[in-house]
Amino acid sequence: MRDGNSTTPDEPGEKGGRAVNGEPGAVQVIVGTDATRIVLSGEVDADLGPELQEATEEAEQVGLPIEVDAHHVTFMDSSGVAFLARLSIRSQHRVRLLRVPPTVRFLLEVTRIGELLDVVDDDAPGFQPVSGESAPAATGDTGPGVA
């Protein structure tokens, strides 16, 4: 058992104070007719940094309003908060954050990043991917165009 004064490394089965068997993070960019949707899932942490940067760049290049679906996020650290801040600062439009789980909502409030975003409790009605297909689940990696 660990206490707040312990200087020993994390106990087996823990990573930074959380279970290591959590779902790995994933980022998927879906270009729609009226918006670009970035779907986040699993653990959004430093391990996902390159994918978050690539998603930012891709969404910027498209130039449409950006929606971030956070419904399947199980954990977020400062890397995820920095990603949301970067999107909100660099986007030509106000970024919409969709279906925010309580852990992410808490981070938005504590860091005040939520003031830079429009937080929407449900899915944006009428999102239509460019391909005309329904939006896929967030299980893939970020890729060019429709993922």
DSSP the chain: ---TT--SPPPTTEETTEETTSPBPEEEEEEBSS-EEEEEEEEESGGGHHHHHHHHHHHHHH-S-EEEEEEEEEEE-HHHHHHHHHHHHH-SS--EEES--HHHHHHHHHHSGGGGSEEESSPPTT--BTTSSPPPPS-S---SS--
Number of separate domains in the chain? 1
Question: Residue 115 has what pLDDT?
Answer: 92
| 82 falls within a domain | yes
| 4 falls within a domain | no
Question: Residue 4 has what pLDDT?
Answer: 40
Q: What is the CATH number of the domain that holds 90?
A: 3.30.750.24
Question: Residue 147 has what pLDDT?
Answer: 36
| 64 falls within a domain | yes
> Could you say which residues of the chain have pLDDT below 50?
1-20, 132-147
Question: Residue 126 has what pLDDT?
Answer: 66
Question: Residue 7 has what pLDDT?
Answer: 38
- Answer yes or no: pTM beyond 0.85: no
Question: Residue 125 has what pLDDT?
Answer: 63
Question: Residue 131 has what pLDDT?
Answer: 65
